[in-house]
Every structure is written in structure tokens, then in C-alpha cells.
Amino acid sequence: FTYDAPVLADRSVRVVFGVGSLYRIGGEAAQLGCRALLIAGPHEDAAADVVAAELGPDLAGRLRDVAQHVPTDLAHEATYRATQLGAEVLLAVGGGSATGLAKVIALRTGLPILAVPTTYAGSEMTPIWGLTDAQGKTTGRDARVIPRTVLYDPTLTVSLPPQLTAASGMNALAHALEALYAPDATPLLATVAEEALRALAEALPVVVAKPDDLDARAHLLFGGWLAGWALGSATMGLHHKLAHVLGGTYRLPHADLHSALLPQVAAFNATAAPEAFTRAARAMHVGSGRCVGQALFDLATTVGAPTSLAKLGLEPDAVESVAASVAAATVGNPRPVTEADLVHLLRAAFVGNRP
Ligand code: NAD
């Protein structure tokens, strides 16, 4: 085989992984700039207070207003604050929403990001930014939004409630699975994605059963890191297209949405990408690639992650309209998909049928 291995030094991300790594934020932030703008929602107050104490006079300001899918108004206001405060570095502490807001500011100002993820969404490892307005969600790829440094501290994920943990873990599984059958998958990417699936599938039930188990939290966060890297390195398929349209148009909670869709998309794609699903089955300790969709559904049920779009508040009428919109778009997916397929798949996800 021939492929371009990702060893470009100018795209590397400095990763600090381990319990207590949050306390290294002062020194790490100083490598990137002196005046730091801290972006952390209200649920991340405890971690944000530690950051504020570590930064001392280098903390230029603090933004607590973050929201999923980065509404344009919020992005304008945050960019204005960053400029007004003379920020030199953006510190994003939180899930994909905090990272997402920092990314849009970075896109507009060129400021470097230091990310401290507290969920398993994986945005900190990708060049993907997103913005949402009344017309829907726009995404793009830009090297400027890739964080320069990421601190993974498993301690920070202990406060993530079991339901959010479960859904966020399913979100990470979706990145890894779609990377395995991506049109631009490479042997290196497939190896990382398989390892991500293994870590996530093993650690998720343990973490949900024992939220304080730091070893399991570290294992899950490691899986989230690898899955995020896979997301950033591959072209995603049908699953991410559906999540993009449903999330951007109906504003459903991001990770929950991924959880309800993933088993159905996996079952739909299994026969079209046998090698990828053999790897997925091996990682998830499942007998055959054809059973991965069912195994994902069972995992979601075990950990209490959503399996039904109806229970997330989607109206039944949305099924046909999302199917039409996705059928009209270009989606790089191993199995060609018709509008009728999409209606069938979305109805199953709507009800929450085991595939
Ligand atoms: P989120 O960041 O909105 O977090 C979900 C909820 O959990 C929030 O209320 C948050 O305050 C709370 N929370 C987070 N960490 C916590 C903790 N440790 N303890 C207690 N509460 C905590 O959700 P998310 O699923 O992490 O991210 C979703 C957003 O990220 C979406 O906008 C999605 O589009 C984006 N995203 C982008 C990429 C990318 O590559 N650009 C990748 C994944 C997700």
C-alpha cells in the first residue's frame, strides 16, 4: 500500500495525559501566550477555578456562556471579548461546546488554543469547526483551529454524570467506527480506530457502573483521544452526515443523537465494509462484523445511553424531511444509500428498535 503518513511537525498537537495534568496548565499556557482567555461553561466551574488560580495575573478574562453547535451570536460576542481583552491564548475547559467556541474565535483571530476536554467528544483532536444560525449548521476544516496543546486529566471527567458519560462514549465510538470504513482510511488510521473502539467498549460499562474508578476513566479518555484523532484524520460517512443534519436543524443534544443513530447505521453498513466490521467485531469482542450494530445497541442499553430519537424529542415528521435532505447530499459511505433506505433507518432509530 501507499499512503501519506501524518508526521508533519507543523501539525503536531502537544498532549499531556494523566491524573493531575490540569495543574500543569500555567506552564503549558505560558508556552503559547501571556494573556489567557478562559472558556468554560457553568458545569466546569470547579476546574475553571483551578485554572484561574494557576494562571493568576495571566488570566485576562473568563467566558461562561457556551452552547452546543456554536450559535453565531455567541461566536461574535466571544470573538469581540477576546480581542477587547487582548487575549494571546484561548483556554477551553469542557466538552465539545467549549472547544467549539474556542475554535471559531481561533479561526477569526489566529489565537492558539489550549484545550482541556471533560467529555469524550474528541473535538480537541480535529481541524473541524462548526457554526449554527437559523439556516442550519455550517462546518469547515482549518488548521488554525487545531489546539496546540491538549491536557487530558481523567480526574475532570469524574463529575460527568452517568447519562452524559454514556452518550459521550457512544459519540466517540461513532468517530472510531466511521474512521474504520472511511474512503481515506489508512493502515495507521485503522489501527488507531480499532484501538479506540476497544478502549471505549471496554471502559464505558465500567465507568458507568463505577464513576469514581479513575483507571477506567483514564482508559475511556484514552479511547476518546484516539477516536478524536481518527475523526480528524478521516472523512466521515452516513452516520456523521445524519448527526450533522439532525443536530443542526433540530438542535438535538449532540452525543445523545449519535448514540441513537449509531447502532442503526452500523447495521446498515456492515455488509458493505466487511474488513472494517471484522476489526470492529474483534475490538468489541463480538462474534461477527454483522453483529456490531446489535452489540452497539446492547452496549447503549446497558450503559443507559439513548437508543430512540423520539425520546430525544424529535417529531415524527422530521424523518421524511431529514431523509430527503441527506439523500440529496453527497455522502462518502461504503454502502450506497437511497431516500427509502434513509426513511427505513431513521424510523428504526426514531422508535429505538434493536437492529
Ligand atoms: P457539551 O460540551 O455541550 O457538554 C455536554 C454537557 O455536559 C454540558 O452541559 C456541559 O457543561 C456538561 N459537562 C461537560 N463536561 C462535564 C464534566 N466533566 N462534569 C459535569 N458536566 C460536564 O457536549 P459534547 O458532547 O462534549 O460536545 C458537543 C458539541 O461539540 C457539539 O456542538 C458538537 O457539534 C461539537 N463537536 C465537534 C467536534 C469537532 O471535531 N469539531 C467533535 C465532536 C463534537
The tens digit of pLDDT for each residue in 284-334 reads: 999 999 999 999 999 999 999 999 999 999 999 999 999 999 999 988 899
- How many angstroms does the Cα of residue 347 sit away from the middle of ligand 1? 26
Ligand 1 centre distance from Cα of residue 264 (Å): 23
Measure the CA–CA gap between 217 and 18, rounded to whole angstroms: 11
Residue from 1, 70, 6 nearest 234 by CA: 6
d(C-alpha 239, C-alpha 278), whole Å: 19
CA angle 142, 234, 150 (to 5 degrees): 60
pLDDT the model gives residue 8: 43
C-alpha span between 263 and 239 (Å, rounded): 10
Cβ–ligand 1 contact at 154 (below 6 Å):
no
Q: Which residues contact 133 (CB under 8 A, 6 or more apart)?
A: 71, 72
pLDDT band at 11 (very low <50, low <70, confident <90, very high): low
Mutate to test the pocket of ligand 1, among 44, 70, 119 (most ligand atoms within 8 A of CB): 119
Ligand 1 pocket, residue 156 CB under 6 Å: yes
Q: Are 79 and 71 in contact (CB under 8 A)?
A: no
pLDDT bracket for residue 6 (50, 70, 90): low
Is ipTM > 0.90 here?
Answer: yes
Least confident of 7-16, 171-180, 235-244: 7-16
Rounded Cα distance between 93 and 118, Å, is 7
Residue 287 CA to ligand 1 center (angstroms) comes to 33
| 203: nearest Cα among 194, 216, 213, 218 | 216
Handedness of CA 292, 273, 170, 351 (dihedral sign): negative
- Indicate the burial class of 86 (C-beta count within 10 angstroms; 0-12, 13-18, 19 or more): exposed
Residue 232 CA: nearest ligand 1 atom is 40
Query: For position 248, what pLDDT does the model report?
Result: 85
Distance 99 CA to ligand 1 centre (A): 8
Q: How far does the centroid of ligand 1 lie from the alpha carbon of residue 292, in Å?
A: 26
**Residues 276/181, Cβ–Cβ less than 8 Å:** yes
How, if at all, do strands 113-117 and 149-152 pair? parallel
In the chain, the domains with their CATH numbers are 9-157 (3.40.50.1970), 162-351 (1.20.1090.10)
Q: Answer whether 119 contacts ligand 1 (Cβ < 6 A).
A: yes
How many Cβ atoms from other residues are within 10 Å of residue 246's Cβ?
A: 26
Nearest Cα to Cα of residue 172 among 200, 153, 194: 200
Distance 13 CA to ligand 1 centre (A): 20
Q: Is the CB of 123 under 6 A from ligand 1?
A: yes
By three-state DSSP, how is residue 49 classified? helix
Residue pLDDT, tens place only, 84-97: 999 999 999 999 99
69 lines ligand 1 (CB under 6 A): yes
Beta strand pairing call for 136-141 and 128-133: antiparallel
Pocket test for ligand 1, best of 116, 123, 158 (most atoms within 8 A of CB): 123
Checking if the pLDDT of 352 tops 50, the result is yes
Residue identifier of the C-alpha nearest atom 38 of ligand 1: 123
User: What mean pLDDT, rounded, does the chain reach?
Assistant: 95
Strands 36-39 and 59-63: parallel
CA–CA separation, 63 and 201 (whole Å): 34
pLDDT tens digit sequence for 150-173: 999 999 999 999 999 999 999 999
- Residue 9 grid coordinates: 511537525
Q: How far apart are CA 74 and CA 25, in angstroms?
A: 25
AA identity, residue 3 = Y
Q: Which three cell numbers stand for residue 71?
A: 450559535
Query: Is the CB of 217 within 6 Å of ligand 1?
Result: no
